[in-house]
Amino acid sequence: MAWGTEGRDLPPDWKQRVAAVWKRDGGQCRWILPKSGTRCPRKGSDVDHRYGPSRHHLEDLWLLCREHHDRKTGKEAFAGRQRRKAKKRPDEAHPGRLR
DSSP class per residue in 71-90: HHHHHHHHHHHHHHHHHSPP
Length of the chain: 99
User: DSSP state, 60?
Assistant: G
CB 18, CB 47: distance < 8 Å: yes
Output the pTM of the full model. 0.75
* Number of Cβ within a 10 Å radius of residue 68: 22
How do the residues of the chain divide into helix, strand and coil, expressed in percent and rounded to 5? Answer: 35, 10, 50
CB 73, CB 66: distance < 8 Å: no
Residue 99 predicted with pLDDT over 50: yes
Residue 61 predicted with pLDDT over 60: yes
- In this predicted structure, which of 7-11, 42-46, 79-83 has the lowest mean pLDDT? 7-11
- In this predicted structure, which of 6-15, 30-39, 59-68 has the lowest mean pLDDT? 6-15
CB 61, CB 49: distance < 8 Å: yes
* Residue-level pLDDT at 21: 98
* Number of Cβ within a 10 Å radius of residue 22: 14
> pLDDT tens digit string along 36-51?
999 999 999 999 999 8
Residue 12 predicted with pLDDT over 90: yes
